[in-house]
Amino acid sequence: MTESQTTDSRATEPDRAIGRILAAEEARAATVSRFGDRRAEALHDDETSTADLDGEQLDREERAALRRVPGLSTELDDVTEVEYRQLRLENVVLIGVYNRDADEAENSLRELAALAETAGAVVLDGLLQRRPHPDPSTYFGRGKVQELADIVTALGADTVIADTELAPSQRRALEDQVKVKVIDRTAVILDIFSQHAKSREGKAQVELAQLEYLLPRLRGWGESMSRQAGGQVGSGGAGMGSRGPGETKIELDRRRIHDRMAKLRRQIKGFAPAREAKRANRDRFEVPSVAIAGYTNAGKSSLLNRLTQAGVLVQNQLFATLDPTVRRSSTPDGREFTLADTVGFVRSLPTQLVEAFRSTLEEVGSSDVIVHVVDGAHPDPGAQLATVRDVIGEVGARDLPEIVVFNKADLVDDDRRLVLRGLEPDAIFVSARTGEGIDELRERIAERLPQWDVELDLLVPYDRGDVVALAHQKARVLETEYEEDGTRIKLLATDRIARMIRSALGS
Ligand SMILES: Nc1nc2c(ncn2[C@@H]2O[C@H](COP(=O)(O)OP(=O)(O)OP(=O)(O)O)[C@@H](O)[C@H]2O)c(=O)[nH]1
Ligand SMILES: [Mg+2]
């Protein structure tokens, strides 16, 4: 291992890597912009308010430990944990292609840096190439691929991550020329999800998404790596993008993978009845539901904690929350509602994940109100808003009442507030950290919660016992009379329930 010396210092002192990068500056061509030293700026404020962590503290430590030493006992019995971690921690170079908007591309690459670090890698550099379109065969143009290969060698990087979803053939061609492992944004996000999934349902969902991603990429995944005998990939050859089902199960043939996927789908379906039962229970006791949705790291869990003292894991990490937490809360005038924390969204959220997490996301779709949290201090809040609304639309929740909340107001100055107001005139500014705006948010939620103010007077034909049953189940029946043509029912309902009953009756 000729690399071990440099790898060691980098693993323990990422700062020195930055020095090295700066020193290598001259080697760069002018059309390639770099900002490896400003990485992870998208994640401001590393302070984790420990007061918020209480019962979840252990979970957080566990997660941090798991992050870098996966599968220790089964793969490498003869090295110490420390050596193993140094071997495994990946040193990555990020690459992206853009056409017009350099700022946007830079934000996206910075977010990719945050994602890579969350997955456990050290980011050494980031390179953007301006091009009308990514090269269909190698993503970067031919000349730049060579330049990239030189940079990778100079920095001693062992992985390149492209800020896109690469076609299987692009990935292979790039790998052949750059001589280190190449993965894409989708693989990194899948990797984070697989590290963070905790519940059985979450694990099944992530594995399904990973298999779906891997299936068209099976041929050649390990192949090109084994051709690089003596390359810089750690002896396991694994790491980001190949953890989870990627490593051992990759040898299964397609059919067995298809079988496995079918089984996972059945399993995930099997979780639905429990969720529906909970939902039905909430309906019966007339408890309205509020879902907190928003971009990853916007502060959804912090806000839930602030509103309910829930003690949910808060971390300056992307996708800290994968398993939705539901807590009870109440309005200032004493009405109860449930408040659900949800999985964060990210730009180009892999479609495989949206599919696999559809059941979880549909929880958002079946709530009464959505609190849409946006990080007010993020460089591009408009893009966050749009991304989240896209996903909300995809699960059919576009028409639900939405309260837009700019969080982290403690980091937002007056000028910026004006800009944010321009984006969303009705939004509320809050800070989960200082408590600013929280009372206003409670009031706004109370206003938007469904009111039991719709009165219906229905004549239900005698052959429609189902509608009578529905009325008794979901609404407050005030009067029942048996007339010649059917049952006359007077009832009180919320808007949503009234619509449900009317459409069941076909009126
Ligand atoms: N300054 C400041 N930081 C905040 C505020 N709210 C949350 N944070 C920080 O932002 C980071 C993310 O907070 P989380 O609550 O974990 O965010 P999340 O939206 O649940 O993130 P995911 O579950 O990863 O999608 C943490 O480091 C928090 O401490 C706030 O009002 N002000
Ligand atoms: Mg969270």
- Over residues 252-270, the pLDDT tens digits come to 567 788 888 999 999 888 8
Identify the band that residue 285 occupies on the pLDDT scale cut at 50, 70 and 90. Answer: low
On the question of pLDDT at 319 being above 90, the answer is no
Q: What is the mean pLDDT of the chain?
A: 74
Give, in order, the Cα–Cα distances in Å from 19 to each of 125, 211, 246. Answer: 11, 39, 34
Domain membership flag for residue 58: no
pLDDT tens per residue, range 78-88: 333 333 334 44
CATH number, position 406: 3.40.50.300
Full-model pTM: 0.68
Confidence (pLDDT) at 239? 60
Say whether both 345 and 313 belong to one domain. Answer: yes
Identify the band that residue 24 occupies on the pLDDT scale cut at 50, 70 and 90. Answer: very low
Domain membership flag for residue 81: yes
| 48: exposed, middle or buried (Cβ count in 10 Å: 0-12, 13-18, 19+) | middle
Domain count within the chain: 3
Domain membership flag for residue 274: no
Say whether both 133 and 235 belong to one domain. Answer: yes
The answer to whether the beta carbons of residues 131 and 141 sit under 8 Å apart is: yes
Say whether both 227 and 364 belong to one domain. Answer: no
Reading the block at residue 183, the tokens are 């993965």
Binding site, annotated residues for Mg(2+): 301, 321
For the residues 117-134, what does the mean pLDDT come to? 87
Q: H-type helices in 100-253, by residue range?
A: 102-118, 142-155, 168-178, 185-196, 200-214, 223-227
Domain membership flag for residue 250: no
The answer to whether the beta carbons of residues 418 and 461 sit under 8 Å apart is: no
Q: What is the ipTM of this complex?
A: 0.98
C-beta 225 within 6 A of ligand 1? no
Say whether both 28 and 169 belong to one domain. Answer: yes
Domain membership flag for residue 214: no
- Domain range spanning residue 500? 454-505
User: Ligand 1, residues 196, 297, 438: which to mutate, most atoms within 8 A of Cβ?
Assistant: 297
CATH number, position 488: 3.30.70.240
Say whether both 330 and 362 belong to one domain. Answer: yes
Say whether both 401 and 443 belong to one domain. Answer: yes
Say whether both 411 and 335 belong to one domain. Answer: yes
Q: What is the DSSP string of 117-145?
A: HHTT-EEEEEEEEE-SS-BTTTBS-HHHH
Give the ligand 1 atom nearest the CA of 296.
25
Confidence (pLDDT) at 385? 92
For the residues 297-308, what does the mean pLDDT come to? 89
Domain membership flag for residue 172: yes
Say whether both 383 and 437 belong to one domain. Answer: yes
Closest CA to 209 of 349, 11, 380, 403: 349
Say whether both 342 and 426 belong to one domain. Answer: yes
Distance of CA 26 to the CA centre of its chain: 37
pLDDT tens per residue, range 436-451: 999 999 999 999 998 8
On the question of pLDDT at 168 being above 60, the answer is yes
Domain membership flag for residue 177: yes
For the residues 224-250, what does the mean pLDDT come to? 45
To the nearest 10°, report the CA torsion of 379, 60, 65, 240. Answer: -40
Confidence (pLDDT) at 196? 77
User: Ligand 1, residues 43, 315, 341, 375: which to mutate, most atoms within 8 A of Cβ?
Assistant: 315
Domain membership flag for residue 178: yes
Is pLDDT larger for residue 376 or for residue 218? 376
CATH number, position 93: 3.40.50.11060
Say whether both 179 and 31 belong to one domain. Answer: yes
Say whether both 331 and 431 belong to one domain. Answer: yes
Q: How far is the CA of 120 from the centre of ligand 2 (A)?
A: 18
Residue type, 120: G
On the question of pLDDT at 226 being above 60, the answer is no
- How many alpha carbons fall within 13 Å on the CB side of residue 243? 26
Confidence (pLDDT) at 311? 56
Confidence (pLDDT) at 67? 25
Strand pairing of 487-493 and 476-482? Answer: antiparallel
The answer to whether the beta carbons of residues 463 and 457 sit under 8 Å apart is: no
Q: What sign does the CA torsion over 59, 62, 63, 64 have?
A: positive
On the question of pLDDT at 161 being above 80, the answer is yes
Domain-ending residue, one of 240, 273, 295: 240
Binding site, annotated residues for GTP: 294-301, 319-323, 341-344, 407-410, 431-433
Is pLDDT larger for residue 242 or for residue 62? 242
At CA 207, angle to CA 201 and CA 210, rounded to 5? 145
Confidence (pLDDT) at 369? 92
Say whether both 443 and 464 belong to one domain. Answer: no
Q: How far is the CA of 49 from the centre of ligand 1 (A)?
A: 9
